[in-house]
Structure 1
Amino acid sequence: MKNDTITPFVKWAGGKRQLLPKIKELLPERFETYYEPFVGGGALLFELKKDGAIINDINLSLINAYTQIRDNVELFLEYINDLDARIINGNKEYYYYIRDLYNSKLFEKNFDTELASMFVFLNKHCFNGLYRVNSKGLFNVPYNKSIKPSVNRDNIIEISEYLKKITIMNGDFEDCCVDANEGDFIFFDSPYAPLNTSSFDSYTKEGFEIDEHIRLAELFDELTERGCFCMLTNHNTDLINNLYSNKGYNLEVVKVKRFINSDSSNRKGEEIIICNY
């Protein structure tokens, strides 16, 4: 594991940058392969920068960005620099023009380097970096009036070099963990459980329902039996507590700030960190 770090190239709902000090404090002293089945922005991935890691996410646009940065970094930078050059005066019409182009390519399933650059550009110039799609799976987040550059070139080059040393998957979280063995470490930055049982926040058209949380808890138990080190983070809710309590796991509640909620009075909350070691 290296000491130097790189920073995430996208902001992602539920990202763990503010929790990194606590998460690092709770890491196993030693572990073999690092797995992250819900990689999102990859805050812990890029903090650890561990070679041979296996990452996954169900969001194909996100994973396309990871793979394009890995495989076609100069073309990616060329595209995104061109996008940034045209938004410099806060041209919201240009933002919505690119959003429409992105959705057209998304509808056509044209997952290429240009789409990856649009994905990152929209992430950095949309409201709160929120990735939200409508019922048709099309991105629909409004402009945030930012004119800042979307990426730092040196950081993206470093990310590209690091991603060449790991495995990138796009699929179900359970498939990511098939080969996890004793001594491996799996970090589940799982989609948030609802703060109340009447609603779910969905950031992909697939969503993540209560049944999926139950299946994830069952996988956590199975990996524990295999001798894997597992850590999971989520909202501190009755659902999550009921799924992981009374099993001998260590549960710790931490205070967090919420950046996605539009109501500033609701931007404080609690998360729970669950470890099986």
Structure 2
Amino acid sequence: MNKLNISPFVKWAGGKRQLLDKIGERMPVKYNRYFEPFVGGGAVLFNLQPKTAVINDLNKSLINCYRQIQQSPLELIKLIDVLDNNIKDGGKEYYYLKRDEYNDKLMMEQYDAELAAMFIFINKHCFNGLYRVNGKGLFNVPYNNSIRDSYEINNIMEISKYLKAITIMDGDFEKACDDAKEGDFVFFDSPYAPINPTSFESYTKEGFDIESHKRLAVLFEKLVNNGCYCMLTNHNTDFIINLYKELFDKRKIKIDIVSVKRMINSDANNRVGEEIIIYNY
């Protein structure tokens, strides 16, 4: 199958665009179905473009975007166009108006095309493309002073074409892997463990805490033992290394350390970091 020319439709914290080559070099030669329980912006999914896949994320608003692109791309595009046209006149005031409306719909759990359009619009017009919510679950990232368009029409239409054959879920990462069988490939781009071990935060109001990382490690070992090809990426921290140390000692997995840029660090001298890629084949 020829690959489509597609790329992520949103910017997402922890996205793997700069690691695509490193991930590609470590892919299994052959696998059956593809599973990605933390799909985020979809950089790895859209780069690999497996024929059959199950994707999932805990962020229901993000997954609503995937579903709207899959099912109703033209309706979504029309709604985004209205937002993009109005930001050129309304600027900052218009952004905050739409951010408030987005939060109102979010609180009422109105996961529809309008919410998806607002999500994509806000992502392109908020500071650093950051998705952050407060304790009440309300999106609170400020305006970035941009009036640029929120999407590229060919990208949305090609993504829609690709997603037609993809199963889209929104929920817990364990549930997303229920159907993973021997010979399937599971890619875990899990929420980052903090470099500072005293701080555990996440982009979701639900959070991804220490116990979540431990539960993920248990699932990873279960899938390995069931004959799945598994890959996991995260910060290179003692906490993560220790979670997978027993599997490494048993020579069931490999752990590779790769250098990455940390663009969110205010000190340019500290923008080089390390990530680990853990895989079992």
- Bucket of the pairwise TM-score, normalised by the shorter protein: over 0.9
Query: 1:124: which partner in 2?
Result: 124
CA-to-aligned-CA distance 1:109-145 (integer Å, 9 cap, x gap): 1111000000011111111111000000000001111
Q: Percent identity of the aligned residues?
A: 62
Matching residue of 2:264: 260
Counterparts of 2:58 and 2:125, CA distance in 1: 23
Give the aligned residue type for 1:259.
Answer: M
Q: Which residue is 1:114 aligned to?
A: 114
* 3-state SS, counterpart of residue 91 of structure 1: helix
- Which TM-score applies when normalising by structure 2? 0.95
Measured in 1, the distance between the counterparts of 2:2 and 2:50 equals: 7
Shift of 1:265: 4.2
Aligned residues: 277
Q: Name 1:137's counterpart in structure 2.
A: 137
Query: Does the alignment pair 1:276 with 2:280?
Result: yes
The 3-state SS of whatever aligns with 1:44 is helix
Deviation for aligned residue 1:258: 1.8
Structure 2 counterpart of 1:55:
55
Runs of 4+ in 1 over 3 A off after TM superposition: 1-5, 260-266
Q: Is the 8 A contact 2:80 2:117 kept in 1?
A: yes
Of 267-276 and 221-230, deviating more is: 267-276
Alpha-carbon distance in structure 2 between the residues aligned to 1:101 and 1:63:
19
Amino acid at match of 2:242: N
Indicate the residue corresponding to 2:79 in structure 1: 79
- Report the CA distance between 1:267 and its aligned residue: 2.6
For residues 11-47 of structure 1, give each alpha carbon's deviation from its aligned partner in whole angstroms, at most 9, with x where no partner exists: 1110000100110010000000000000000101011
- Between the aligned partners of 2:6 and 2:177, the Cα distance in structure 1 is 25
Q: Secondary structure at the match of 2:183?
A: coil
Letter in 2 for 1:217: A
Gaps of 5+ in 2: none
- Give the conservation status (yes or no) of the 8 Å contact 2:32–2:185: yes
- Residue equivalent to 1:187: 187
Distance in 1 separating the partners of 2:6 and 2:201? 29
Counterparts of 1:124 and 1:258, CA distance in 2: 20
Question: Equivalent residue for 1:173?
Answer: 173
CA contact (8 A) 1:5 1:49 kept: no
> Is the 2:200–2:210 contact (alpha carbons within 8 Å) kept by the matching residues of 1?
no
Runs of 5+ in structure 1 lacking a partner? none
Q: Partner letter of residue 162 of structure 1?
A: Y
Q: Larger deviation: 150-159 or 84-93?
A: 84-93
CA distance in 1, matches of 2:246, 2:2: 36
- The alpha-carbon deviation at position 89 of structure 1 amounts to 5.4
Q: What TM-score does the superposition give when structure 1 sets the normalisation length?
A: 0.97
CA contact (8 A) 2:5 2:155 kept: no
Post-superposition offset of 1:90: 7.4
Find the aligned partners of 1:255 and 1:134 in 2 and give their Cα distance: 31
- CA distance in 2 between counterparts of 1:262 and 1:86 reads 32
State the match for 1:152 in structure 2. 152
Show CA shifts across 1:46-104 (max 9, x none). Answer: 11111220000000000011101111111100010111111225711111111011001
Q: What is the CA distance between 1:2 and its match in structure 2? A: 3.6
The answer for the alignment partner of 1:36 in structure 2 is: 36
- The one-letter code matched in structure 2 to 1:222 is K
RMSD: 1.3
The residue matched to 2:83 in structure 1 has which SS? helix
Query: Residues 235-259 of structure 1: CA distance to partner in whole angstroms, max 9, x if unpaired?
Result: 0001110011242211111111123
| Aligned-partner residue type, residue 50 of structure 1 | P
* Mapped contact 2:14–2:192 kept (Cα < 8 A): yes
Distance in 2, Cα, partners of 1:78 & 1:214: 43
Alpha-carbon separation, structure 2, partners of 1:23 and 1:88: 39
